[in-house]
Amino acid sequence: MAERLTDSGIPVKPVYRPDDIAGWSYEAALGDPGEFPFARGIYPTMYRGRLWTMRQYGGYATAEESNRRYRYLLEQGQTGLSVAFDLPTQLGYDADHPLTEGEVGRVGVSICSVEDMRQLLDGIPLDRVSTSMTINATAAILLALYVVAAEEQGVPPEKLSGTTQNDILKEYVARGTYVYPPRPSLRLVTDSIAFCAAHLPRWNPISISGYHLREAGCTAAQELAFTFANAITYTTATLDAGLEIDAFAPRLSFFFACHNNLFEEIAKFRAARRIWARLARDRFGAKDPNSWKLRFHTQTAGSTLAAQQPQNNVVRVTLQALAAVLGGAQSLHCNALDEALALPTEATAQLALRTQQVIAYESGVPDSADPLAGSYLVERFTDELEGRTEELLAEIEQIGGGLVAVESGYYARRIEESAYVYQRAVESGDKTIVGVNRFQTAAGGESAPMKILKVDPAVRERQIRRLEQLRRSRDGGRVTAALDRLRAAAAATENVLPPLLECARARATVGEMAGAMRTVFGEYRG
């Protein structure tokens, strides 16, 4: 009989017995939920006490259109916002910059100033709804806009809850939406962490993200190792900046992908909690148990969605969402069935949300904390993934850590190797993708073409008109002074968040703020 392997190459036995976890200690490996090392979950009752946050990712076109989608999803039972920004916003360009033609509002919402941010959040009670923002190179700028928009809504910073992704290291490897070179970019991250520790106690200033590394092609073990190597880099840099570990570690958050191999993914999340608990306590000396708890968001895997027979994606997403919940995620996004084709429509976004709600309210899965604990297979997979992750972490440490792994191309090489192996398996038929390389529908047998969401190309012109109106109505002298102060802070060692807030209040644009820092930090060309 041919050997069977998980997607990370872990051998799968026909049957598992107690001797597969021989020498295994319940107390050392697991403990109860809410107890170190938190393999079984970070809260004693897990979802019996509170369900995970249902945080559907979305945003497109203008702030007004995205606001309508957010309010619709909140009315349908979504419990947190997750904002997708367009490429110009992610790269620090205003909608009227020549390089933005054809990109404004296409893969996310266009935000050029605090006026757009105010419109995006109109009618949403920011003291009660948490907001996650998928933004990295310009994260400090968008956080400043969010704080000022909330302030003008009457909500003070200490009442805001949410997350800025702000994980710049993975951008140089997996996504490409970087602006500045790695080292000044790392400084912007530590400035954000320090500012939030002092002024936004309920805000997660970073979401250290394995998701995009996994989407680029790495294995589950590599996803954990590369994420934790980056986490070590951010933590060390923040400590070097003068903060105490327990002042910021409780607000560090993580973001993982969830793929189709159900038990491997469940084990991955359990191993992740165990690894971080030991890193925080034993390596960094954290004393606060909240610093030891790995809190993470999960998104079902976009790379597993297929354009062929897209209805099959509903099944894939359901399996992945189930693995995330059985693995103990704190928040979850389910992809829509049409996301291999376009941005989700209102109907498919609703179905993705309903997928979470059916698991939450009909499956019985949330009724017991960590229902798979003690499974010989799951515990063996958890140990295997932890061991492989520790080996990779030691390798990364040997070459100089996460920053060197980015700059030297180590991450990129390892991910390319894994992606190549996976793709070869699909092309050879060793790996079955239903509807793609097996069980295809005969020509003409596909269902009727799906209705897909199309973004109006006139979005850019509307945004340009808004910018023109903004520039006519604001105090130009105040804007110039605020931008000068931002440049001075960036050139010195001063935290850039206070001058960014000043710029936002003066109605400086995203492009102007990013441009001011470009003159100091330069641009990274890759």
Amino acid at 428: S
Helix (H) or strand (E) holding 145: helix 139-153
Residue 515: other Cβ atoms inside 10 A: 19
Mean pLDDT of 229-238: 98
Residue-wise pLDDT tens digits, 57-104: 999 999 999 999 999 999 999 999 999 999 999 999 999 999 999 999
Tell me which residue has tokens 């610093």.
291
Name the DSSP class of 100: G
pLDDT at 253 (0 to 100): 98
Query: How many residues can be counted in the chain?
Result: 526
Task: Kindly list the distances between the CA atom of residue 525 and the CA atoms of 98, 104, 165, 331, in Å, as whole numbers in the listed order.
Answer: 18, 22, 22, 34
For 354, the token pair is 């309903």
Per DSSP, the three-state class of 27 is: helix
Helix (H) or strand (E) holding 53: strand 53-54
Closest by CA to 210, choosing from 250, 260, 167, is 167
Closest by CA to 294, choosing from 254, 264, 344, is 254
Amino acid at 325: V
Residue-wise pLDDT tens digits, 266-295: 999 999 999 999 999 999 999 999 999 999
Domains by residue range for the chain, with CATH: 4-428 (3.20.20.240)
The CA angle 128-168-491, to the nearest 5 degrees, is 100
Helix ranges (H only) for 241-261 are 245-248
β pairing state of 252-258 and 296-300 = parallel
Residue-wise pLDDT tens digits, 337-349: 999 999 999 999 9
Amino acid at 521: F
Residue-wise pLDDT tens digits, 354-366: 999 999 999 999 9
pLDDT value at 445 more than 80: no
Helix (H) or strand (E) holding 399: helix 376-399
pLDDT value at 176 more than 70: yes
Q: At what angle do helices 510-521 and 497-505 cross, to 10 degrees?
A: 150
